[in-house]
Amino acid sequence: MMYNDPPMEVSKPLGRALTLPIVVEQIVPSRVCFTCDVCCRFPERDSPLRPYFTREEIQAAIARGIRPDAFPDHAGSNVSVVPHGTGYRCPAFQAETGKCGIYEDRPLDCRLYPVAVMWDRDRAEAVMGWDSKCPFIRDNLESAESRAYVERTAALLESEDTVRIFLANQPLIGAYQDDVIVLRRLNRLTQGLRAASRSPAR
């Protein structure tokens, strides 16, 4: 992939990603997102924090104007980032507006943020947490609104539809990060992962 390509042009929406039968509630106001310099930008090209796209999400992103070679594996992969200042950015991020060019079809990995789904320190269980790099979370960590949001999101992540998506796309579960504040164990997802690991390969 060439990293000096001009910014992509985003076409009109062509439909939602097929892997998203669920609606993810947003807690961070748009006014905060548009003034933040954390999301969608990365210090290194191979950052493990690059969003993961499922097969269907890749198809939707390409239909919206993202270059096919932004995805190393069209069956599912982390997006390849492009140079931006002293670092890199997601190819869907529009630096001039601070907005996502495929917002209506952004992947589940992005929809969940600032919630992170990751392995615990021992890689024994899946957990959910807050990404403390998000300035809104830092300022509202203990609010009643945040606590209620955690409960609703935990229920969503443990729902049958969401667990099925994660089991089919296990790279969605990130590596443990020290700066993510662990909130809940995801017991149902962990049980599914253990069952899948015991199943004989076909």
Q: Delimit the domains of the chain by residue range.
A: 28-106, 114-202
Q: What confidence score (pLDDT) does residue 200 get?
A: 67
pLDDT tens-digit series, residues 63-109? 999 999 999 999 999 999 999 999 999 999 998 888 999 999 999 99
Q: What confidence score (pLDDT) does residue 1 get?
A: 32
Any idea of the CA torsion for 119, 112, 71, 194, to the nearest 10 degrees?
Answer: 30
Low-confidence ranges of the chain (pLDDT < 50): 1-19
Q: What confidence score (pLDDT) does residue 141 get?
A: 86
Count CB-CB contacts under 10 A for residue 176.
Answer: 15
Distance CA 118, CA 126 (A): 6
Half-sphere exposure of 127 (CA within 13 A, CB side): 20
Stated pTM of the model: 0.85
Q: What confidence score (pLDDT) does residue 12 get?
A: 38
Instruction: Report the phi/psi class of residue 15: left, alpha or beta, with left for phi > 0 and alpha for psi in -120 to 50.
Output: left
